[in-house]
Amino acid sequence: MLRCFDPSVDGRELDREPFKFRHQLMGHPALELDNLAKAIPSLPAEYVKYSKGLMRNGEDFENCNILHPSQMSLAETIECMRTSDSYVMVRSPQIHESFQPVFRDLSGDVEHLLRQMFGQRERLLIKPQLYLFIASPGSHTPFHIDRNSTMLLQFRGSKQVVLFPRWEPQVVTDEAREAYAAYDNTKLPWSDARDAFGQRFDFAPGEGLHIPFIAGHYVQNGHDDVSISMSIIFNTPESQAQLEALQFNHKVRGLGWRPAPVGHSAGRDQFKSFLWRARRKVRHTLNLPPDN
Ligand SMILES: [Fe+2]
């Protein structure tokens, strides 16, 4: 039984295609502005990234707080969100007690969906984590990919998310995707020609969007209001294997190999993931520092 997502959400569609759904968390006390204004500044600084200035596709989203540092304090940024062209991203707000119930419920819902896809298995839900986004009207999240699957929920303001096919090399080359997965290069090249591959989703408070693992996307917030959204991100046994296979490919490319791309054969991806984990274990046993 789902507590947060609409009961019509079908877990067997996760990481296949993006889809919209309705969520049941509107009016949740954790997401009210007065709670956000209290909870966010109390989190450790490394959990909160905020930046000022509109961003464009082609910029390095993962380092936006370094490229566009804000001169304002976090409290001022939140206060002036309507007019300040700012962006606040909070990692793991569930470490604040006001977010713990909603984190538990969302994790339970995702686990329920994963059982529909994988059946009863141990460790289906891997590294679930909440992210909170507060953005000024009209702000833009540049084109990027994530190393996980996402259920993104809108609470205030509107936005358009443009989503791209996961393994299309004309959108993100195999090499760039692998380097991104390995944390080696997080700046993705962009050209407007890529837009032809995009699927546009308009969404508003009460609605949610599933972003499949590693699918490229960018977000344009509406000009009408401050946007507040929250996502639960996670990996599944399948996406975890694909992530490790991407990291494997990145490593062997550096050795001059030309590996087969990830995402076309589950067996091949699992084998690469197995090799990657074995390598990590050996490095750990030999007391060598971890590397990607
Ligand atoms: Fe994202």
Q: What global pTM score does this model have? A: 0.90
Instruction: Find out whether 92 and 47 touch, Cβ atoms under 8 Å.
Output: yes
- Classified by CATH at the fold level, domain 11-236 comes out as Jelly Rolls (2.60.120)
Task: Write down how long the chain is.
Answer: 292
Please report, for residues 129, 222, 225, the alpha-carbon distance to residue 158 in angstroms, rounded to integers and kept in the order given: 23, 5, 7
Q: 146 CA distance to ligand 1 centroid (A)?
A: 5
Q: 76 CA distance to ligand 1 centroid (A)?
A: 25
Locate tokens 């007391």: which residue? 287
Q: How many helices (H) and strands (E) in the chain?
A: 7, 11
By the CB criterion, residues less than 5 angstroms from ion ligand 1 are: 146
pLDDT of residue 102: 97
Residue-range domain boundaries for the chain: 11-236, 241-285
Please report, for residues 115, 171, 213, 239, the alpha-carbon distance to residue 4 in angstroms, rounded to integers and kept in the order given: 16, 33, 21, 23
Tell me the one-letter amino acid at 11.
G
* Nearest-10 crossing angle of helices 237-254, 266-285: 70
Instruction: Find out whether 234 and 130 touch, Cβ atoms under 8 Å.
Output: no
Q: 280 CA distance to ligand 1 centroid (A)?
A: 27
pLDDT tens by residue, the chain, 292 residues: 899 999 999 999 999 999 999 999 999 999 988 898 889 888 998 898 877 765 666 665 555 555 555 566 666 666 677 777 788 899 999 999 999 999 999 999 999 999 998 888 778 999 999 999 998 888 888 899 999 999 999 999 999 999 999 999 999 999 999 999 999 988 899 999 999 999 999 999 999 999 999 999 999 999 988 899 999 999 999 999 999 999 999 999 999 999 999 999 999 999 999 999 999 999 888 888 777 6
pLDDT of residue 112: 95
Helix (H, G, I), strand (E, B) or coil at 177: helix
Calpha distance 20→117 (Å, rounded):
18
Q: 43 CA distance to ligand 1 centroid (A)?
A: 21
Q: 97 CA distance to ligand 1 centroid (A)?
A: 25
Q: 144 CA distance to ligand 1 centroid (A)?
A: 6
Tokens encoding 165: 């096919």
Q: 65 CA distance to ligand 1 centroid (A)?
A: 15
Q: 229 CA distance to ligand 1 centroid (A)?
A: 12
pLDDT of residue 121: 79
Q: 264 CA distance to ligand 1 centroid (A)?
A: 23
Q: Please measure the distance between the N-terminal and C-terminal CA atoms of the chain and give it in whole angstroms.
A: 39
pLDDT of residue 78: 67
Q: 172 CA distance to ligand 1 centroid (A)?
A: 15
pLDDT of residue 182: 95
pLDDT of residue 122: 78
Q: 151 CA distance to ligand 1 centroid (A)?
A: 10
Q: 253 CA distance to ligand 1 centroid (A)?
A: 26
With helix as H, strand as E and coil as C, how does 185-206 read? Answer: CCCCCCCHHHHHHCEEEEECCC
Calpha distance 135→85 (Å, rounded):
8
Q: 287 CA distance to ligand 1 centroid (A)?
A: 34
Calpha distance 57→34 (Å, rounded):
32
